[in-house]
Structure 1
Amino acid sequence: MIFRLPSLIIKSFILSFITWIILTTSIPQLIIQRTNSEIKSNNFTTSEYPVNSITFPKQIPIQNSNVYFVIAHPDDEVMFFAPTILELSKLPYNNNLNLICFSKGDFFEPLKDIRTEELYKSTRILGIDKEKVKILNYKDGMNETWSTKDIINSLTSLIDFKKNQENNVIITFDEYGVSNHPNHISLYHGSKSFVEKLPKSTTTTKLYTLKTLGFFEKYSFTILTNIEIFVNYCNFLIQKFIPIININISLFGSTLKNSKNLNNQSNNGGSIKIYSDLNMLSCSYAAMAYGHFSQMVWFRYGWLLFSRYLTYNHLIEI
């Protein structure tokens, strides 16, 4: 029996992955081919083939905006924010994507120049131009807590919102930093203080943070996504035929010790859920495994296989 357990786990993983492909890729592609007027008529109005998006709400509010991803280390953009970057870079949203990385990943000093170039390679795969990537020289380390004042000064020097009347969006970590990493947490406090100090009369700026997932949800890969998307498909059909019934499911909405504060944030601001499909996941794998080759030690492959952050992002507006 004990020798059959690994085989059962592998079979369950494969079955879940196949189910995920059907729910996130096959069904949406079939729907768009049957319903999109451009595809049906072969008369395309833009240079981008119509693409699928699985987001909740369906019309996400981050559009026609200057979007700044604020990360701590080279590879954060893939390991945590890939679904959001790939989604917001789609042509219909008309966003201008930028990335600010606060360190060169110099926890291991000899690799800092290599990791800098790897970040450029990764962001190019994800769709952010090199000239829109800024890399700072904060010290990388689990014992390093970056000054909120220094972060505010850095963001002020890199983002001139006073001259920019367009919509602006900053996306970074939440107060738990995904893994309680002090560099990640520092960026939450610094970005939050930076936005709070902006003159409201001259700019429209929103701050979104990536919700930290509990341990089981973090390493559930496609299992929970399958349940959530299946329920949403059912809800769509029910609403279509029996509109008075509404089913809403949000698995592991309170996974942290201080989840009450996080839930209050979700209620007070906007909440966006972004799901990857197979095409987006393939791009994420390429950006990580090819872009950040120096970081592909043995446990990174486990992250690529089990991390839910590669297929799902939950953004909460602060």
Structure 2
Amino acid sequence: MAWILLIGFLIFLWFVSLCKFLLVSRKTSSNHFMKNGRTHQKRNVLLVVAHPDDESMFFTPAINFLTSSGHNLHIFCLSIGNADGKGNIRKRELFQACAALKIPWQQVKTVDHPDLQDGFGKVWDHNLVAKLIEEEISSLSIDMIITFDNYGVSGHCNHRDVHYGVRKLLHDTSQRDIEAWELVSTNILRKYSGPVDVWLSMCFSILHKNGTMQCFVNKHPRRSFLAMAQHSSQWVWFRKLFVALSSYTYMNTLRKIK
């Protein structure tokens, strides 16, 4: 009897959270995110990821906010995901996914460097990562970077190396004045709570009234599925389950990198 009540409560909580999510998604999220004296000015934003499909699995709420707000979003992917020898296929899939996310193909770039190959245990040189990102910033007049935090959502070493490369760039170069934000990694319960995490994410955002943490509710959650489905070589059952259950499909929390 207790198990039935618990399951019933969880289903009820999921349903209420989904309704809350749909209500919140109709409102403007993160009103202060693009301010700092540039409220009416388009910003050039660089989303730095490690592999094709990172953008669709983890960053779609932020992507949808930026594109719908009219900002110039560029995707910079530091590998072609060639761990299984499917690099060229995955590169093509990235462009298809970005089209589903309303990002022009001209604003998507991949890197296939011999020292930045996809794979667990393949540590990337943070200096090289920082150098490549700096070149991209200079060529595109970027004024904001978004990337992973130091855990990288899944703990993948390549995700973490991208984070540390961005940090090195900010610390060691003339690009210190670039605004940079990291996607906050959550514990496993929150990660797989789907829209239920909207409650905690919004609370944490409210507590940081100084603007160092921002929440993005995904106004087009169906677009997450459409984009991830373009990565057909990766679109296996457990990734379909991940996209359905992941809180990152419904909500992104970004924290300012100091």
TM above 0.5? yes
2:96 and 2:195 map into 1 onto residues whose CA distance is 27
1:107 paired residue among 58, 76, 83? 83
Q: Deviations over 1:175-200 (max 9, x none)?
A: 11112211011001111111223326
Change (3 A) 1:68 1:216: same
Is 1:78–1:287's contact at 8 Å kept on the other side of the alignment? yes
Distance 1:285 1:28, change over 3 A: closer
TM-score normalised according to structure 2 size: 0.85
**Offset at residue 13 of structure 1 (A):** 6.3
Q: What is the aligned partner in structure 2 of residue 246 from structure 1?
A: none
Which residue of the other structure, out of 200, 204, 215, is the alignment partner of 1:250?
Answer: 204
Q: Does 1:81 align with 2:59?
A: yes
The residue number in structure 1 matching 2:121 is 143
The match for 1:274 among 207, 213, 216 is 216
Distance 2:124 2:226 in 1: 31
Q: Verify: 1:95 aligned to 2:92, yes or no.
A: no
Q: Counterparts of 1:295 and 1:26 in 2: how far apart (Å)?
A: 32
Count of paired positions: 248
Partner of 2:118, secondary structure, is coil
TM-score, length basis structure 1: 0.70
Select 1:221's aligned residue among 172, 194, 199: 194
Name the amino acid aligned to 1:25: L
Q: Is there any run of 5+ residues in structure 1 with no aligned partner, and where?
A: 30-51, 233-248, 254-265
Deviation of 1:140 after TM superposition, in Å, equals: 0.3
The residue type equivalent to 2:221 in the other structure is: L
1:213-251, CA deviations, whole angstroms, 9 ceiling, x for partnerless residues?
Answer: 1111111111232x358xx7xxxxxxxxxxxxxxxx339
Residue in 1 aligned with 2:250?
311
**Distance in 2 between the 1:184 and 1:269 partners?**
25
Unaligned runs of 5+ in 2: none
Q: How do 1:174-193 residues align onto structure 2 when only pairs under 5 Å count?
A: 174-193=149-168
Does residue 285 in structure 1 map to residue 225 in structure 2? yes
- Asked if 1 retains the 8 angstrom alpha-carbon contact of 2:212 and 2:256, the reply is yes
Deviation at 1:17, TM superposition (A): 4.8
CA change 1:141–1:269 in 2 (3 A) is farther
SS at 1:285 equivalent: helix
Query: What residue is the counterpart of 1:125 in the other structure?
Result: 100
Following TM superposition, the consecutive aligned residue runs of length 4 or more in structure 1 with deviations greater than 6 angstroms are 266-269
Aligned counterparts of 1:272 and 1:28: Cα–Cα separation in 2: 14
Quick one: structure 1 residues 20 and 193, their matched pair in 2 at CA, closer, same or farther if it must change by over 3 Å?
same
Matching residue of 1:296: 235
Measure, in 2, the Cα distance between the counterparts of 1:12 and 1:299. Answer: 25
1:75-98 deviation digits (Å, cap 9, x = unpaired): 00011111000011113xx41100
Partner of residue 134, structure 2: 156
What is the deviation of 1:14? 5.6
Alignment check: 8 A CA contact 1:54 1:276 kept: no
Greater shift in the superposed pair: 267-276 or 297-306: 267-276
- The DSSP-based 3-state class of the residue aligned with 2:254 is strand
- Aligned-pair identity in percent equals 29
